[in-house]
Each structure stands twice: as C-alpha cells, then as structure tokens.
Chain A
Amino acid sequence: MVVGADDELVARLVSEHDRAYRAAWLVLRDKHLAEEAVQEAFLRVWRFRGSLPDGDAIRPWLYRVVVNTSISSLRHERPRREHETAADVDAIRVDDPLDALEQASIVADALADLPEHLRIPIVLRYWVGLSEKEIATAIARRPGTVKSRLHEARTRLSNDLRLAREEA
C-alpha cells in the first residue's frame, strides 16, 4: 500500500474524481468514455507522482492530463459519436417540448457543438473553476489565447442558446 505523500495524492484524486469525470463528460458526452479518460489520466498522474508540483498547482496539471486523455478518446471515437449526437438532437427538437429540465440538455448539446478548442476552455473555466492562467497551463497556450477563446465561446454559446429557445 502507499503511504505518506502518496496517501495525500490518492485522497486528492478521489476528491477530484467527480468533477474531473463530469468535465470529461461535458467534453465527450459519453459516460464510459469519460470514465475511461479520467481513469487513464489519474493513472498517468500517479505514475509521474515523483515530479508533480506541490499544493494547488497540481490542478492545472491534473486537468491538462484529463484534457489530453479526453481529446485522445474524442478523436478515436469521433465517427461513432457524431452519429449518436445527431440522433439525440433530432429527438429533442422534434418530440419534446422545452422545459426547465431539458434546458440542461440543450446547454450540453450547445457545448458539444462547439469545436474542441472552444469547448475545453469553457468547461475548465466554468465547471472546473480554473483561472485563465491555469487554463493556459492546462492547454499549453498563452493566457491571451485563452481569453480570446473564452470570449468567442461565450458569444457562440449565447447565440446557440437563443436560437434554441426561439425554435422551442
């Protein structure tokens, strides 16, 4: 069994698991893929625990690995997922009236429609709660790039959600 610092890391990973899983789910929109991506990310973090930063600095690093494994999964599973997503959107628009509960699904769909380079900063900023600087660390881009991507993502999400409400 692991002891000392390893115990702290395990405790931290366990406490972060739910948030990391839901972040991966927002990116992947698939329970099993999200679970696999997070487990793979946690295993990578564990293997490299000897070179991890201390304290809260671990979070951007941790989500960088989660982003990497999620993107790998996304690109590997893209053909199948594109088909499933289209079917889901049609079902919502044709069969079901809009209510408060389904708004969450529409938001999730709008997020899924964003390209990766906009979707991931949004998830890291508004779900995980990372700062722009931490997101820059997580996706290996400059803070200015993160800021412009967040702005563009917010604009596109606003337009998509407004259109969805109008259609409903």
Chain B
Amino acid sequence: MLTEDDLRELIDSAAAEAPAPTPLPEDLFRGEPSNVRPRRGRQLAIAAVVLVILGAGAAVVPGDQLPFLEQHIVGTGNGQDETVSAPTRGYGTAAGASASAGTGTGVGGGASQSVQPLPAPPADSPRIIKNGSLEILVGTGTVTESVNRLTALATGFGGYVSNSRTTASEQSGSQASALISVRVPAAAFEQLMGEASKLGEVQATTTSGQDVTAQFVDIDAQLTALTATRDQFLLVLGEAQNVNDILAVQDRITQVQIQIDQLEGQKRLLTDQTSFGTLSVTLLEPGATTAVPSVDDNKDLGDAWQDARRNFGDALENIVGASGTLAVVLLFGAATLGAAWMIYRRLRRRII
C-alpha cells in the first residue's frame, strides 16, 4: 500500500498536470455586497420559526384538545351558518308574508331579513349558544295570525325569521299547523320564549345552552400565536435572497394564513351563534298533528357534508381523548422531528 509520502508525491505530480489557471479577474470582488448573515444562519432562522409553529400548535393541545382538533378537521365547514339572514328553505310564510295564508300548502315566501349587526357580548362574559323549542296549541283558524304575531315579536326584539313552513287543513283550507324558527339577540331569548308561550296552550318546551367560552379563549390564543408566526415569516421573507428560499417561506406563510383564516371563520361562526338565540316554534290547531316536517328534514347535501365532517372530527377527538395526552405529544414530536430532518437534509445536501 502507498505510504503517505508516496501518495503526496503522486498527487503533487497529478496536480502539476493541470493546465495553468487563468488569473483571477482584477474586478472579481468589486461591487460585490457583503452578506453579513451567512446562508446557514438564514436557514436556521427559518427552521426556528417552523419549530415555533409546531410548538404553538402543541402548546394549545393539552389544555383542551377538542377545539384544536376541530379547527383542523372541521375547518370552516360551517361557513354557511355564518350568514345571519339565511333565507327560508322552500316552504312557508316569511316574516310578515301574510299573503301566503290560505294558499293551501305553503309555497314560496322567505324570511328575507336584512343582515343584523351582531351585538357583540362583553369580552369577559360567558359565551353561550342558546336554543329552544315550543309546541303550542292555538285556536282553530288562528295559525296564520299566530305566525304573524310571532314574526312581529321576533322583529320587535331585533331578530328575524330564519325558517318557516305552514300546512293547510284539507277540510277548511285554513292553516292547520306551522313551524317557524326565529333568531333573536341572546339577551332577549328568554323574553321571546315568554311572549311566544302566550300565543296558546304550551304542549312542550325545551331549552338548551352550550357554553363555548373555552373555545373562544382557545381560538384567540391560537390566532395570537399564528399571527406572530406569520409576522416573523414575513420578516424572513424580506431577507430571502434566492428563489428557493422565497418559495419555501411563501409556502409557510400560506399555510399559516390558511390556519388563521380558518380560525377567524370559526370565531365569526361562534360569535353569530352566541349573539343570537334560536327558537323553533310549532303551532298546531286542535286535532292537528305535527305533520309539519322538521326544518332539519330539509337538509341538503351541504348539511350532510357538514354533519359528516363534524362526526369525523368527533370520532377523531374521541380517539385522541381515549389515547390521552401522550398520543398528541408523540404526534407533534414526530412532526417536529420530521421538519428538523428535512431542514438538516437541506443543509447537508451539497456536502459529500
């Protein structure tokens, strides 16, 4: 085997075989700016920001896993509910649409209320989604009148009719039953129930309240963290000096912005749901049955899709909940390691 000296001598002779180099151009370094921050430093800065994103995501999970997962799985799927003035679907009288009375099976109409400004509750008050239902027996031939009175009540409280449907009695041609859903500011919800109960003899009543204060807090915390992360990325983007870096940072910014948009959509939805209570009232003449199809029966494909997504999210939440915090920690740990490995490979890719 060659000794080191032999090898050195041989390679010296091989190097001497190289053609003489062209001298360096005299102006090679002239006008070249100095990049104070080396390339690796910039990449490490990007890596640090990525880890901050993952860390921010992991930080919010232990406190309450469900809202965080729902954010990623359900996303803004409930966006259609964000429209406050949802028109009635298909049937029935609308707010003040008394002309539809006596037209047999209710047709057309629509509660085309204008968009109501949301009365935002105080920031530190509990956020409650209020829902309720009433089944009221009214006098013969008074269903239409009761619908109009209920509509007037809702409007008087600053609310609107979100859905309604009426059906006629085959014998008399008058309205035999009606189902109307109204939305009023949450503060007036109980008052509306009280007034609506006076329309006739109350057969059944239900109310429910869902406290979503924790979800609000979680969303705000995530929005704060993600907004800070996006701002940091924008700073990094300003210092990027080649196309690859720019594209990589822009991709990250897009991902963060999507999450921010999803969270803001969720927040708007929750704000709407907590700002307005929803009351479903069934009005029946004596002898009439609840033949009025439930408003929920009018689900379209979009509703089914929302249900499917929501149920999928619930199922995943249950799995995560059953497997405990450890699974979530492992998940984010794996994601962090994956990101670190990709960055490491990028840094080392040009080294033999």
Residues of chain A touching chain B, judged by Cβ–Cβ distance below 8 Å, are 1-2, 6, 10, 13-14, 17-18, 21-23, 25-26, 31, 34-35, 38-39, 42-43, 46-51, 64, 67-68, 71-72, 103-105, 107-108, 111, 116-117, 120, 122-123, 126-127, 139-141, 154-155, 157-158, 161
If the complex has contacts A25-B18, A49-B34, are A154 and B351 also in contact, measured as CB distance less than 8 A? no
> C-beta contact mask, B1-40 vs A, less than 8 Å → 1, else 0?
1101001101111111111011111001110111111110
Beta-carbon contact of A104 and B16 below 8 Å: yes
Beta-carbon contact of B7 and A126 below 8 Å: yes
A121 to chain B, nearest CB (A): 8
If the complex has contacts A104-B13, A105-B17, A127-B12, are A67 and B351 also in contact, measured as CB distance less than 8 A? yes
Residues from chain B with Cβ under 8 Å of A25 in the complex:
15, 18-19
Known contacts A18-B21, A48-B38, A107-B10, then 10 further A-B pairs from the complex at CB < 8 Å, ordered by chain A residue: A17-B24, A22-B15, A22-B18, A31-B19, A38-B21, A46-B28, A48-B39, A104-B14, A104-B17, A154-B1
A-B contact pairs, 8 of them (CB 8 A): A6-B29, A17-B21, A31-B18, A46-B32, A48-B39, A51-B38, A111-B14, A140-B348
Residues from chain B with Cβ under 8 Å of A71 in the complex:
350-352
We find that the number of chain B residues with CB closer than 8 angstroms to chain A is: 36
Beta-carbon contact of B30 and A1 below 8 Å: yes
Complex CA distance for A144 and B129, rounded to whole angstroms? 66
Partner pick for A21 among B1, B18, B28, B29, CB 8 A cutoff: B18
Chain B's closest residue to A72 (CB) is B350
Beta-carbon contact of B352 and A139 below 8 Å: yes
B14 to chain A, nearest CB (A): 4
Interface of B is mostly: loop
Beta-carbon contact of B11 and A107 below 8 Å: yes
Most A CB contacts (10 A, CB to CB) among B12, B16, B25, B29 go to B29
Residues from chain B with Cβ under 8 Å of A21 in the complex:
18, 21
> C-beta contact mask, B330-352 vs A, less than 8 Å → 1, else 0?
00000000000000000010111
B309 to chain A, nearest CB (A): 46
Chain B's closest residue to A157 (CB) is B2
If the complex has contacts A126-B7, A155-B1, are A140 and B32 also in contact, measured as CB distance less than 8 A? no
B200 to chain A, nearest CB (A): 83
Beta-carbon contact of B34 and A47 below 8 Å: yes
Complex CA distance for A94 and B352, rounded to whole angstroms? 34
B11 to chain A, nearest CB (A): 5
